[in-house]
Structure formats: structure tokens, C-alpha cells
């Protein structure tokens, strides 16, 4: 070929593009840890969430574990509910002990599933409420859930989302209840309203309108005492931690005059938004309202307090969801057969059943809600609903502690 002759241009070989669909992303996994007002133990769950909006991402519970609180720790947490000597020192040590107990539950969950800690995006950890006084004293008030999140992150190697109530209180809210948006995501129905009550130490009620409506109603508030006064009565009069199946209460007779006096508590008449705790419904509150008659049998007292729990729940349902057809029950109270029977009797025509029949065991719901709240925090999405808590605006709740 002559040097002066231009080289012929070669056509490039065709490029063949093979379209390979991307591998589906693994669902994100989160741990929720909850020790409630009853202080009977710690419930932990590993939850799965798909990508999507808060209302469409729920994937289910992969594992659940329950660890009873060590008696010494439970006794100290109960003591810290009331003012006492050296509170700051004792609270700090109790927070460390609780973090170790939370970490043991998290490790148990990982062991049960065979998952490494690196597969968990974060832990949503409620901590133990010692005080809950929103809006009081200085117009802002406070809520205090003790936990040492840095120690929990250190022990587990997982990021921790904690202090999930304070941001809502800073915005003028009650900081509670936080679970209604989660209840809607899991139990909401497109064509009908649903009521959900969590009966822990305190009872809180969620009222969910048909989710197909763009203006679907969502209301929630604390009704009043749940198991806290029942368990206290059992421990004092029967030497047992709780009334299994409500068997003792079922043998008792409701003291109508005493029940009427208990129901005069002004909290019951307050409109939502409202929240409460052991700051109000505690042994001292009960002692101040005890009947003068010494003849009341222990089982009669338990029957009356069970009726108080049932009445405060049903009064809330009647007032705020008069046309509803169903009440789902979760928390420890869902295992109290007599209490469920009383709820059914006080809500004629309405189906009363455990959340287990709606797809989630009652002892998993609240822990799963705090896994959901951790997801909300990490995605920068509101966890507390201002329409429920009374805050001035929706807020992203929780403090993030990296491991």
C-alpha cells in the first residue's frame, strides 16, 4: 500500500448490549426493643421493611424474643418512678444495666436468625419511662426514658435510635402515643374503620378510618390504666406478678361504688390529645381512692380494677368511634381472657379479638412499632403524627447513635 494512499476506514464492530435486570435489593432489617410500663420484661423483634413509603413498606416480623427483667433491675426501675435519694447516680447505673439487658435481647435475635449484626440497619430502642410530664412546669415539660444508647451500640455493633419522644414534646406535643401511624400501616383496612388498643401498663387507643380515603382519619390517645394497677394488686394480695387469664378477677364481683369513684378521675374526661403514665396511675393514686369498707375480698378488688381498665377503653371507643365494627387488642392485656370478655360485653355488636388473628401476635406489636420508628428516623420521615400528639407540626423523632 502506498504511503500516500489513505487507509480505508474500517467500520467498528457492532456493540451488543445485553440487558440484565438488576438483582433485587435485599429488604432492610431493623430491630425494635421495648420495655413498657408494666416492666415485666423486654420484647425484641427483627422486622423487615421493603423500599417504599411509610404506609407501604411493612414486610413482617422475622424473629421475636422476650427476656424478663432481672428482679433487681426491675425493683430499681420501679423505685426510680418516685423521687428518692441519689437519683442521678442510680438512674445512670440503671441505664447501663438496661442497655446490657437490651443488648442480650438483640444478640438473642441475631442468634435465632443466624444474621450478622451488619445486616441490621439500626435498633429502635424505647428505653424505660421514669417520668412523663408533657406540657407541665414550664409550658414544655419533659419525658424521660432512661437508656445508655452508646453502650447498646458498643455492645451490639449496630446503630441505635433512641429518645423517640422528646422531639415531639419540644414541638408542643404529648410525645405519645407514637404507635398509631404504625397501627395504620399494619392493621388499616381500605373499606372500613378499625380500632386498635394496646394494653400494657397503660392502655392506648388508635382509631383508623378507611385507608382508601384521602382524608382517612387517624386518632390516638392514652385511655388510662392498663395492667399497671392490676399487676400491683396481684402482687400485694396474691403474691403473683399478674392475674393469669384474668382468673381471679373472673371470680370476683365489681364494687360499683368504688368503680364510680375511680372513674371520677379528671383525666378520663380530658379530650385528646392526651397521654399519661405511672406519674398519675400509681399505687398512691389507688390508695387515695380505696373504699372504706374492709370487707372487700381481694378478687373483688381485682374485678373492679379490671372493669376500670375495660370501661376507660370502651368509653374512648364509644366517644370517638361510635360506628366502628372491630377492636383489635395487643399488649399483655390481650392474654387476659376475662378482660377481653368484658371488652366484648361493653362493646355489643363489635368484634373484639387479638391482633394475632389479624396477622401479628400481641406481644410483638409495640416492639415492631419502634423498629418502624427507627426506620422513619433513618429515612428522615416523620414518626410522630401531629394530629395524634397535638404537636404544632410533624417531627422526625429519635436521636441517632452510631456504633
Architecture per CATH, 28-172+373-401: 2-Layer Sandwich (3.30)
The residues, ordered by sequence, that sit 6+ positions from 163 with a Cβ below 8 Å of its Cβ are: 127, 145, 149, 398, 399
pLDDT of residue 292: 75
pLDDT digits (tens, 9 = 90+) for 339-386: 999 999 999 999 999 999 999 999 999 999 999 999 999 999 999 999
Nearest Cα to 32, choosing from 43, 23, 22, 40?
43
pLDDT digits (tens, 9 = 90+) for 146-175: 999 999 999 999 999 999 999 999 999 999
Please tell me the distance from the alpha carbon of residue 208 to that of residue 261, in angstroms, as a whole number: 31
pLDDT digits (tens, 9 = 90+) for 258-314: 999 999 999 999 999 999 999 999 999 999 999 876 678 999 999 999 999 999 999
Residue with more model confidence, 336 or 13: 336
Could you identify the residue written with the cell 432481672?
A: 70
Phi/psi class of residue 246: alpha, beta or left (left: φ > 0; alpha: ψ in -120 to 50)? left
Give the domain ranges of the chain: 28-172+373-401, 180-358
Mean pLDDT, all residues of the chain: 92
Q: CA dihedral defined by 104, 198, 236, 96, rounded to 10 degrees?
A: 30
Q: Hey, do 28-172+373-401 and 180-358 end up sharing a CATH topology, with the first three levels equal?
A: yes
Decide: 314 and 347 in contact? Cβ < 8 Å: yes
Q: Please report which helix (H) or strand (E) contains residue 170, including its range.
A: helix 166-170
The residues, ordered by sequence, that sit 6+ positions from 230 with a Cβ below 8 Å of its Cβ are: 242, 243, 249, 302, 305, 306, 309, 336
pLDDT of residue 21: 47
Q: Indicate the pLDDT class of residue 212, thresholds 50, 70 and 90.
A: confident
pLDDT of residue 50: 83
The CB-side HSE value for 365 (13 A sphere, CA atoms) comes to: 33
Q: Indicate the pLDDT class of residue 41, thresholds 50, 70 and 90.
A: very high
pTM: 0.91
Please tell me the distance from the alpha carbon of residue 231 to that of residue 200, in angstroms, as a whole number: 11
Q: Which fold has domain 180-358?
A: Nucleotidyltransferase; domain 5 (3.30.420)
For the residues of 34-68, what is the DSSP string, one character each?
E--TT-SEEEEEEEEE-SS-TTT-EEEEEEEEEEE
pLDDT of residue 11: 53
Amino acid at each position: 500500500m502506498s504511503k500516500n494512499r489513505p487507509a480505508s476506514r474500517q467500520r467498528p464492530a457492532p456493540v451488543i448490549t445485553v440487558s440484565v435486570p438488576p438483582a433485587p435489593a435485599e429488604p432492610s432489617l431493623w430491630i425494635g426493643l421495648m420495655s413498657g410500663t408494666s416492666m415485666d420484661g423486654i420484647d425484641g423483634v427483627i422486622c423487615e421493611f421493603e423500599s417504599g413509603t411509610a404506609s407501604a413498606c411493612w414486610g413482617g416480623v422475622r424473629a421475636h424474643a422476650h427476656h424478663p427483667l432481672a428482679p433487681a433491675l426491675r425493683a430499681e426501675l420501679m423505685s426510680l418512678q418516685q423521687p428518692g435519694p441519689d437519683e442521678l447516680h442510680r438512674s445512670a447505673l440503671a441505664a447501663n444495666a438496661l442497655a446490657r439487658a437490651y443488648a442480650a435481647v438483640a444478640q438473642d435475635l441475631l442468634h435465632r436468625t443466624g444474621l450478622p449484626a451488619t445486616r441490621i440497619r439500626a435498633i429502635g430502642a424505647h428505653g424505660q419511662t421514669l417520668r412523663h410530664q408533657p406540657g407541665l412546669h414550664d409550658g414544655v415539660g419533659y419525658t424521660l426514658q432512661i437508656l445508655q444508647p452508646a453502650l447498646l451500640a458498643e455492645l451490639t455493633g449496630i446503630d441505635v435510635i433512641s429518645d423517640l419522644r422528646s422531639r415531639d414534646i419540644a414541638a408542643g406535643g404529648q410525645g405519645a402515643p407514637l404507635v398509631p401511624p404504625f397501627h395504620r400501616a399494619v392493621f388499616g383496612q381500605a373499606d372500613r374503620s378499625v380500632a386498635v388498643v394496646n394494653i400494657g401498663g397503660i392502655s392506648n387507643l388508635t382509631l383508623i378510618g378507611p385507608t382508601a380515603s384521602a382524608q382517612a382519619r387517624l386518632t390516638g390517645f392514652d385511655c388510662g390504666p392498663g395492667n399497671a394497677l392490676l399487676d400491683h394488686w396481684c402482687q400485694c394480695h396474691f403474691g403473683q406478678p399478674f392475674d393469669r387469664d384474668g382468673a381471679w378477677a373472673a371470680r370476683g364481683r365489681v364494687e360499683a361504688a368504688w368503680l364510680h369513684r375511680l372513674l371520677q378521675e379528671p383525666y378520663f374526661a380530658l379530650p385528646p390529645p392526651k397521654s399519661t403514665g405511672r406519674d398519675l396511675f400509681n399505687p398512691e393514686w389507688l390508695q387515695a381512692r380505696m373504699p372504706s369498707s374492709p370487707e372487700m375480698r381481694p378478687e373483688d378488688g381485682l374485678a373492679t380494677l379490671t372493669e376500670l381498665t375495660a370501661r376507660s377503653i370502651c368509653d374512648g371507643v364509644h366517644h370517638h368511634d361510635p360506628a366502628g365494627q372491630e377492636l383489635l387488642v395487643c399488649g399483655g392485656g390481650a392474654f387476659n381472657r376475662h378482660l377481653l370478655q368484658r371488652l366484648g360485653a361493653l362493646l355489643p355488636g363489635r368484634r373484639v379479638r387479638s391482633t394475632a388473628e389479624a396477622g401479628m401476635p400481641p406481644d410483638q406489636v409495640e416492639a415492631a412499632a419502634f423498629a418502624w420508628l427507627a426506620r422513619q428516623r433513618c429515612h428522615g420521615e416523620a414518626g410522630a403524627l401531629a394530629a395524634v400528639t397535638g404537636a404544632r407540626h410533624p417531627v422526625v423523632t429519635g436521636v441517632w447513635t452510631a456504633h
